[in-house]
Amino acid sequence: MEKSKANINYDDVVIHVDKVSKSFGDLHVLRDVDLKLYNRENLVVLGRSGTGKSVLIKLISGLLNPDRGDITVLGEVVNRLTDKELRALRQRIGFSFQNSALYDSMTVRENLEFPLVRNKRNLSRAEIDREVEEVLEGVGLSRAINQMPSELSGGQRKRIGIARTLILRPDIMLYDEPTAGLDPITCLDINSLINEVQERYNTSSIIITHDLACAKMIGDRMVMLLDGKFERQGSFAEIFDTDDERVRPFYDYNFIV
């Protein structure tokens, strides 16, 4: 199932990776890459393990600095910001981690309250409750508010992790393998949620995934990282309409094996 067309603003670039290179010793992970993410776009980044997809996310969020080139996020050149400026920018970027990154000792309510209390200290109790209830409703888990993470399924934990990210109303979402470790039906639910988040919260998103069914369902555009460069980009059909021996096995593994 392919994604329906989103209301993307192609005049507004929210992330610009401009001629960026990154190496670790003799390992050249990214080689002079260029990439743009547009306002309200879901951009899927495909590639084999170890090709630099997670490094790209760390560069965008300022956890790593490029060896060459610049990364501009929401008008700010990330690799030139002070620590204070970088912390402020990160509040506008939501991270959905592969393991959901929930605190096991906290209830769902407390997990969602934590980023609010830490980043918006002037909120009243009633305002915090309203924000928590609204974001839980948005991910379809209002009844889980007083449960512990250990009482939730993998898909539910993934939803709560996304809710905790959304509670600060980020402009950009970064998803790292959102369907990893989930059964096929739950994968479909998470894919639908990512599309709902885009529509409801007007987010712009980069999604790293190996799951081509996921990519096809949520990606407005896709790029494939090959040998340190974005060699292919476009729709799902455009990415895989090739005899490139680096690309076809990726497709065959997902849809034939």
- The structural domains of the chain, with segments of one domain joined by +, span 1-92+172-257, 101-169
- The stretch 23-38 carries a mean pLDDT of 94
Q: Reduced to 3 states, what is the DSSP secondary structure of residue 133?
A: helix
Tell me the per-residue pLDDT of 110-165, one tens digit each, with 9 for 90 and over: 999 998 888 887 889 999 999 999 999 999 999 999 999 999 999 999 999 999 99
116: nearest Cα among 143, 98, 136: 136
Dist. CA 61–CA 13, nearest whole Å: 16
- For residue 1, the model assigns a pLDDT of 67
3-class SS letters over 31-94 = EEEEEEEEECCEEEEECCCCCCHHHHHHHHCCCCCCCEEEEEECCEEHHHCCHHHHHHHHCCEE
Prediction pTM value: 0.90
1-92+172-257 placed in CATH 3.40.50.300: yes
- For residue 257, the model assigns a pLDDT of 45
- The stretch 174-201 carries a mean pLDDT of 91
* β-strand partners of 17: 35, 71
Dist. CA 58–CA 65, nearest whole Å: 8
Dist. CA 167–CA 39, nearest whole Å: 20
Q: Reduced to 3 states, what is the DSSP secondary structure of residue 218?
A: helix
